[in-house]
Amino acid sequence: MFIKELTTYFNFVKENINFGALFKSYNSMILDNLRTGKKLILASNSPRRQELLRGIGIDFITFVRDNIDESFSADIPTDKVAEFLAKKKADSYQDIIDENTVIITADTVVIYENEILNKPADKTDARRMLQLLSGKKHEVITGVCIKSKEKEMQFSATSVVYFDTLTNDEIEYYINTYKPYDKAGAYGIQEWIGYIGITKIEGSYFNVMGLPIHLIYKALKSF
Amino acid sequence: MFIKELTTYFNFVKENINFGALFKSYNSMILDNLRTGKKLILASNSPRRQELLRGIGIDFITFVRDNIDESFSADIPTDKVAEFLAKKKADSYQDIIDENTVIITADTVVIYENEILNKPADKTDARRMLQLLSGKKHEVITGVCIKSKEKEMQFSATSVVYFDTLTNDEIEYYINTYKPYDKAGAYGIQEWIGYIGITKIEGSYFNVMGLPIHLIYKALKSF
């Protein structure tokens, strides 16, 4: 089982990536330290995270294992959960990290009045979450772990998001059209509901989308 | 001259738009008042503004006149300039507004320590602006005017943007690669420099991109 997965991984890598060209030449003055043969792996299926990491001008591959344990103890303070889960995810890729690999994992949690809102189980749950968030502010925390054979860094960023009062029609329309079942808190800030319903944020917009990308850039510069 | 421009406009409209289908049926419960035959015109060439207005789920056409006078008196307080210019732009489309037309104009200004930063004249100017903004906060104000035959509304939103300290290499790389000469303040928040260099904002992200889209949605609902 493990061997099969590892073979799939190496075949994927071989077919998709020329490691020598991992870091684009136009970006040559920046992130120099990462250009010397390091392979960057983003362990996330989120197209938003992939878009954000591409946005800082480095190349990477994505590789994600199924069935990663994302449980956490109730003892962990809600504002530490994202970082805890990012580290837990990174640890579960330990076996594929060699001398030339850097892996990035992340976890985003939505917190409303100290309650973590996960991905909604169904339409009723999505409706409940959006009704909670309507007209109120909440926090979005993305935790990140960057890990190589020798080093490991964890950090997180918090953004406060303010929702306008949403009508039931708007909530129904959004859920039916965008089916936000893969999104913590049942919304994507970059989708219709974010355009019409979010009045302001305090913090990083990209952090709400899924990565505190300015912190990742900074971390990679000194990693 | 005027007749030629008007003919170009009507031909453009005829070729590109089925007015009966202006407002998408999937959005039928929302913005009902605007579905009864109104034609929405966005008078802006900005692809970002077009993307934002599309994002709230309504159809529109873009029509922009060249050589619109964007001058303003030095007596106008800096935080009122965006709204003043949006209204001035709208007034210059007065002659094409008929009973079924609603026109939207907008202007975005970047203000650093009470100085308005316009579009940079050249590379030196772009460099000067980014060096000013580096490591500091500034304000972005987008003013909007929505105008029909009978009605007119103006409003603006302010977002505060915090830049990390940028290195000279980062500033050079950004200017050379993204050529931000069409952007007030010499940067686009949705480009590389926004990913790596902006630590947080207070306000609407979309307002920094070019439209306070949540306010436009609200205004159109009651227009």
Q: Please indicate, yes or no, whether residues B53 and B158 belong to a single structural domain of this protein.
A: yes
Q: Tell me what percent of the residues of chain B surpass a pLDDT of 70.
A: 83
Mean pLDDT of A37-43: 88
Give tens-digit pLDDT for A109-149: 999 999 999 999 999 999 999 999 999 999 999 999 999 99
Q: Which CATH number fits the domain that encloses residue A43?
A: 3.90.950.10
Flag if A195 and B55 touch (Cβ within 8 Å): yes
pLDDT for B68 equals: 87
Residues 38-97 of A with CB under 8 A from B: 52, 55-57
Q: Please indicate, yes or no, whether residues A163 and A183 belong to a single structural domain of this protein.
A: yes
Q: Packing angle between helix A123-133 and helix A168-178, nearest 10 degrees?
A: 130
pLDDT for A75 equals: 95
Looking at the complex, does the CB of residue A174 fall below 8 Å from at least one CB of chain B?
no
* Phi, psi (degrees; rounded to nearest 5) at A116: -80, 125
Looking at the complex, does the CB of residue A181 fall below 8 Å from at least one CB of chain B?
no
Name the DSSP letter for residue B58. Answer: -
Q: Which residues contact A174 (CB under 8 A, 6 or more apart)?
A: A130, A180, A187, A191, A192, A193
Flag if A52 and B27 touch (Cβ within 8 Å): no
- Tell me the residue length of chain B: 223
Q: Please indicate, yes or no, whether residues B2 and B77 belong to a single structural domain of this protein.
A: no
Check whether A31 has a pLDDT greater than 70. no
Q: Please indicate, yes or no, whether residues A215 and A172 belong to a single structural domain of this protein.
A: yes
Q: Which amino acid is at A125?
A: D
Check whether B121 has a pLDDT greater than 70. yes
Q: Please indicate, yes or no, whether residues A202 and A179 belong to a single structural domain of this protein.
A: yes
B33-37, B58-62, B97-101: range with lowest mean pLDDT: B33-37
Residues A93, A61 contacting (CB under 8 angstroms): no
Rounded to a whole number of angstroms, the distance from the CA of A216 to the nearest CA of chain B is: 8
pLDDT for B166 equals: 97
Looking at the complex, does the CB of residue B27 fall below 8 Å from at least one CB of chain A?
yes
Rounded Cα–Cα distance for residues A30 and A221 (Å) = 8
The tally of domains found in chain B comes to 2
Helix, strand, or coil (residue B17): coil
Flag if A201 and B203 touch (Cβ within 8 Å): yes
Using only the alpha carbons of chain A, give its radius of gyration.
18
Q: Mean pLDDT across chain B, nearest whole number?
A: 88
Looking at the complex, does the CB of residue B192 fall below 8 Å from at least one CB of chain A?
yes
Rounded Cα–Cα distance for residues A172 and A178 (Å) = 10
CA proximity to A160, closest of B198, B203, B58, B73: B203
Check whether B9 has a pLDDT greater than 60. no
Given the residues A69, A75, A107, A169, the one annotated as active site: A107
List chain A residues with CB under 8 Å of B192.
55-57
Q: Which of A27, A164, A177 sits opposite B214 (nearest CB)?
A: A164
Check whether A10 has a pLDDT greater than 60. no
Q: Please indicate, yes or no, whether residues B111 and B47 belong to a single structural domain of this protein.
A: yes
Check whether A3 has a pLDDT greater than 60. no
Q: Please indicate, yes or no, whether residues B87 and B122 belong to a single structural domain of this protein.
A: yes
Which range of A25-34, A212-221, B11-20 scores highest in mean pLDDT? It is A212-221
The continuous run of DSSP H or E covering B9 comes out as: helix B2-16
Q: Please indicate, yes or no, whether residues A109 and A50 belong to a single structural domain of this protein.
A: yes
The DSSP annotation for B83-145 comes to HHHHHHHHHTTGGG--TTEEEEEEEEEEEETTEEE-S-SSHHHHHHHHHHHTTSEEEEEEEEE
In which domain, by residue range, is B214 found? 34-220
Q: Tell me what percent of the residues of chain A surpass a pLDDT of 90.
A: 77
Q: Which of B56, B195, B205 sits opposite A196 (nearest CB)?
A: B56
B199: pLDDT confidence band, cut at 50, 70 and 90? very high
**Residue A176 token pair:** 């039916």
Q: Which of A29, A177, A198 sits opposite B173 (nearest CB)?
A: A29
Q: Please indicate, yes or no, whether residues B127 and B181 belong to a single structural domain of this protein.
A: yes
Helix, strand, or coil (residue B64): coil
A22: pLDDT confidence band, cut at 50, 70 and 90? very low
Check whether B37 has a pLDDT greater than 70. no
Flag if A195 and B213 touch (Cβ within 8 Å): yes
Looking at the complex, does the CB of residue B179 fall below 8 Å from at least one CB of chain A?
no
pLDDT for A190 equals: 95
Q: What are the catalytic residues of B?
A: 107
Better-predicted residue by pLDDT, A1 or B163: B163
pLDDT for B3 equals: 57
pLDDT for B223 equals: 85
Q: Please indicate, yes or no, whether residues B211 and B143 belong to a single structural domain of this protein.
A: yes
Task: Mutation target for B interface from A24, A29, A56, A214: give the one with most B CBs within 10 A.
Answer: A214
Q: Which amino acid is at A49?
A: R
pLDDT for A220 equals: 92
Looking at the complex, does the CB of residue B149 fall below 8 Å from at least one CB of chain A?
no
Check whether B100 has a pLDDT greater than 70. yes
Give tens-digit pLDDT for A178-209: 999 999 999 999 999 999 999 999 999 999 99
The DSSP annotation for chain A comes to -HHHHHHHHHHHHHHH--GGG-S-GGGTTSSGGGGSS-EEEE----HHHHHHHHHTT---EE---SS------TTS-GGGHHHHHHHHHHHTTGGG--TTEEEEEEEEEEEETTEEE-S-SSHHHHHHHHHHHTTSEEEEEEEEEEE-SS-EEEEEEEEEEEEPPPPHHHHHHHHHHH--TTSGGG--TTSHHHHHHEEEEEE-HHHHHT--HHHHHHHHHH-
pTM: 0.87
Helix, strand, or coil (residue B179): coil
Q: Please indicate, yes or no, whether residues A4 and A57 belong to a single structural domain of this protein.
A: no
Q: Please indicate, yes or no, whether residues B1 and B28 belong to a single structural domain of this protein.
A: yes
Give tens-digit pLDDT for B75-90: 999 999 999 999 999 9
